[in-house]
Amino acid sequence: MREPNRNRGSIFVTGTDTGVGKTVLSLLLMRFFLMRGRTPFYLKPIQTGCTNAHDRDSDARFIYEHVPALAGMDPGDSVVYCFRSPKAPWFASGDEAEAIDPRKIAAYAKRKRSAHSHIVLEGAGGLFVPVTEDVLMIDLIALLNARPILAARAGLGTINHTILAVEALKARTLDPLGIVFIDSGLTETPGQMVAENIEAVERFSGVKVAGTIGRIERWSEPGEECYRPLATLFGER
């Protein structure tokens, strides 16, 4: 089956907030593409709160540990900048007197994109997290010429946060590929609330919610249901 054009290039996993589930969504995207014979590459341009990419809190390490095709490979290859302080990149980089150069990130992503079917980029925090003194995370999405996928919580409060995020993307002429709800809490969000949240978000944002990813017990073996929102995003049944 010929791959649609919208499936190619760079995908930027962004979120309505910190800790909303971007890394979980990135992991599933990597596994989803690999299961379909693609050659994706995971890239975390800026990691904060870690000593290096091998740290236990490293998102790249998490991805590499739970994607069999990456076994034995170096997660450091997937991180351009890494800073110890768990704060916004602008301030975390300032703590170590190392300036972030968005052009360096763009050049690195371009090199990786030439050798892979997809680049799965994962942002740090939300859209308006400062990368430098004059660049926000949303600006980095545009610089990387990436198509954003928005990760959002499934429960209470997500209507406001998700619609605001979509409005921000559209204001920068960034067209979201779709929205994925992440419901990873210890208590599952009631089905009626999730359905109402989806209805409101789709109605007022004009962007489709591809589905909801629930709590995953085994990261190395996510259930088939976890991939259904991704199949919807990429036009599969």
Cβ contacts of 157 within 8 Å, gap of 6 or more: none
Neighbour count for residue 129 (Cβ, 10 Å): 22
Helical H segments across 114-157, by residue range: 137-143
| Beta-strand relationship, 118-126 and 147-153 | unpaired
Residue (of 41, 23, 10) closest to 182 by Cα position: 23
Cα–Cα distance list, 21 to 38, 115, 182, 202, 220 (Å): 23, 27, 6, 20, 16
Q: How many CA atoms lie within 13 A of 46 on its CB side?
A: 32
Residues 6+ apart with CB under 8 A from 235: 4, 6, 7
Strand partners, 214: 183
- Candidates 22, 44, 104, 208; catalytic one: 44
Percentages helix, strand, coil for the chain, rounded to the nearest 5?
40, 20, 40
Active site residue 44: yes
Neighbours of 195 (CB within 10 A): 11
Q: So which residues are the catalytic ones?
A: 44
